[in-house]
Structure 1
Amino acid sequence: MANSISPPPAPKSLSEVLELEQLDTNLFRSRVNQINVNRTLFGGQILGQGLKAATQTVAPDRVCHSLHGYFLLGGASDIPVIYDVELTRDGGSFSTRRVVARQRSRPIFHMELSFHRAEEGLRHEVSVSGDVPDPEDLMDVRQLLEKFGDRLPEGATALASQEAIIELRPVNPEMFMLRKQPLQRAQYWIRSASPLPDDPLTHRAGLAYLSDYFLVSTALLKHPAATSSTKVMMASLDHAMWFHSPPRADEWILIEAVSPFAGGARGLTRAEMFDRNRKLVASVAQEGLLRLLDKPAG
């Protein structure tokens, strides 16, 4: 029997990406799908939508402070994603939820999330490394395309088509985009290209969405010689995130990422996310597949 469900439309804004349809008490469905550069669903969509679905089953005085997810299968862009939320535990201070994202009855992603009511306690935080320029002093992806032309890698070109949703400005554009020499640290400003509603949940989900940009490819920055002559298959394997301060995803967020290890066709990246005032708002860790493929025949 032919599939009677029309393919979800492509989103025109981050706000659209984060919209969900509630089917039942703990069951939600995506309204739009964002296609990744390899024609599968963008992982940030699943992270943001899954976080939003889980939060809608928790008491309003508790906010997500951490999430840990695994990408199991590449998502299909032609059908909606169903989010099934399990109410694992509600304690005196913490609540735990498990989200399973499914398509065609198969799990493509699952995630555990922890929620905490506000409490006072000790505080410290790391600072930004070095003197980072403000985003207004840097070029965006479209300007980089005009300046560097066909010297930019394919992934950078694909980002231009997503600028209706996000704005991204690398701190070291020539090193970050052209990859002429090994780069120890990736730094880039990112934000929603359009304003978001003022509710804190949308901005927290939006930050989860933004956290998935460029993390896997950060591990390649130390290997410019290999990646300039060899095709690389990349895919996110897992994603962990800790929220520290309330963010605004439609204001500039500085991501500072490092890759402490790569091996066995996998690469690990850790990152901090700072707001415009260089205040730490979140920390992220992700492992991704980095499989070197034979150079295509010329």
Structure 2
Amino acid sequence: MTLESVRPAESVADRLTLERVGEFRFRGRAHDGPSQRSYGGEVAGQAVLAAGLTAPGDRPIHSAQTYFLLPGDTTVPTEFAVEPVRDGGSFSTRRVEAVQDGRVIFTMLASFHRPEDGLAHQVAHLDTPGPDEVPDLAEVFAEHPEALRWTTTLLNALGVDARFPDPPARAHAMHGATAAPRQRVWLRTRQPVPDTGLEQAACLMYLSDLLLLSATTGPHGEALRDRELQVATVNHSIWFHSPIRVDEWFLHDQYGRWAGGARGLAHGEILDRSGRLCATTMQEGLIRARTPR
């Protein structure tokens, strides 16, 4: 996404709104303004919504695996075609393709599960101050106004609030310093999201794509200081464990598990303020360092 002259975003829920144009077909509207590369989380969130609108109402989504095939264009409507792969006794599976100008730009396989009781535990836990106790963005990027401008413009464009318990990878890179392959960020939508589980899940998918891949760049901050990075999500997966409200603060604890061969692999754990693990994420993407000409 080009961040120059991006207008403030409407609500996340409004951005994901779909028009039903067939039993298993939906359309997302184009956005006003100049042509820009679509935010991947928006396409993925709309795909979750499209799949869920064709699944039995008593089966919330529990997992989604996605592939980003081509860049999207914000000025072109996106068509979502859903294939009802299977409806079993307790699970339903849906395949979704997102199409622009006759080309498939994105694909997703999602699974829905009727709620059941079972064994329960979690390893993830909160080990960070709450969002009201951490520095605001102006303090985090106090010595780097360019990074502050980039970050605030991005968040304004997406309609998201963010607070960092520790300086993110970008802040370390601006110092020409390396960092641990981990970053933690508190997130929430700026405007309320409807109470339905499906819309909350679609908006969580939207937010889960934000900043995750950059967790893999921390150990390479110094090496990347004078380079231009080409970064793009290749595939993104999420597992939904417990209901969560995305218009209330939640933590995305992000780990850069591996980088090599111009790719990176990041893992995230999404916890609410009580410390409950609500979702797990994995993302692989292109991270190509290009020396400026």
TM-score computed with the length of structure 1 as normaliser: 0.89
**CA 1:57 to 1:34, structure 2 compared with 1: closer, same or farther past 3 Å?**
farther
CA distance in 1, matches of 2:38, 2:56: 30
- Matches of residues 180-199 of structure 1 in structure 2 within 5 Å? 180-199=177-196
Partner of 2:143, secondary structure, is helix
- Please say if 1:105 is aligned against 2:86: no
Is the CA contact (8 Å cut-off) linking 1:68 and 1:239 kept in structure 2? yes
Separation in 2, partners of 1:155, 1:11? 15
> 1:20 aligned to 2:25?
no
CA distance in 2, matches of 1:68, 1:34: 29
What is the correspondence of 1:217-236 to structure 2 with a 5 Å cutoff?
A: 217-236=214-233
Aligned match for 1:259, one of 256, 260, 263: 256
Aligned with residue 134 of structure 2, among 134, 138, 149 = 138
Aligned partner letter, 1:138: V
SS of 1:295 mapped into structure 2: coil
Q: How does 1:15-54 map to 2 (within 5 A)?
A: 15-33=13-31, 39-54=36-51
Q: Partners of 2:32 and 2:255 in 1: how far apart? A: 26
Identity %: 37
CA distance in 1 between partners of 2:91 and 2:254 (Å)? 29
Instruction: Name the CA distance, whole Å, in 2 between partners of 1:102 and 1:10.
Output: 26
Kindly state the Cα deviation for residue 11 of structure 1 after the two structures are TM-superposed: 4.3
4+ residue runs of structure 1 moved beyond 4 angstroms? 32-35, 142-145
Aligned to 2:157: 162
**CA distance in structure 2 between the partners assigned to 1:151 and 1:51 by the alignment:** 34
The count of aligned residue pairs is 283
CA separation in 1, counterparts of 2:283 and 2:24? 27
- Range that drifts further, 15-24 or 134-143: 134-143
* Residues 12 and 140 of structure 1: CA distance in aligned 2, closer, same or farther (over 3 Å): farther
Note if contact 1:11-1:32 (Cα within 8 Å) is conserved in structure 2: no
For 1:287, the equivalent position in structure 2 comes to: 284
The one of 35, 59, 63 aligned to 2:60: 63
- Partner Cα distance (1:203, 1:262) in 2: 31
Instruction: Provide, for residues 90-128 of structure 1, a one-character-per-residue CA deviation record: whole Å limited to 9, x for no partner.
Output: 111111000000000100000000111011110111232
CA contact (8 A) 2:256 2:266 kept: yes
Task: Indicate whether 1:209 and 2:203 are aligned.
Answer: no
Deviation of residue 139 (structure 1)? 3.3
The change in CA–CA distance for 1:290 and 1:153 in structure 2 (over 3 A counts) is farther
Kept after mapping to 1: 8 A contact 2:188/2:249: yes
The answer on whether the counterparts of 1:66 and 1:240 sit within 8 Å (CA) in structure 2 is yes
Q: Contact (CA 8 Å) 1:45, 1:209: kept in 2 or not?
A: yes
Name which of 237, 241, 250 aligns with 2:238: 241
Indicate the residue corresponding to 1:86 in structure 2: 83
- Specify the code of the residue in structure 2 equivalent to 1:127: A
The question of 1:171 aligning with 2:169 is answered no
**Counterpart of 2:205 in structure 1: which amino acid?**
A
Counterparts in 2 of 1:39 and 1:128: CA distance versus 1, 3 Å: farther
Matched-pair contact (CA < 8 Å) for 2:30–2:74 = no
Report the alpha carbon displacement of residue 63 of structure 1 after superposing the two structures with TM.
1.0
In 2, Cα distance between the equivalents of 1:248 and 1:209? 13
| Structure 1 Cα separation of the partners of residues 234 and 217 of structure 2 | 16
- Residue in 2 that maps onto 1:74: 71
Q: Which amino acid aligns with 2:290?
A: L
TM-score, normalization: structure 2? 0.90
| Structure 2: segments with no counterpart, 5+ residues | 1-6
Shift of 1:143: 5.7
CA distance in 1, matches of 2:124, 2:152: 31
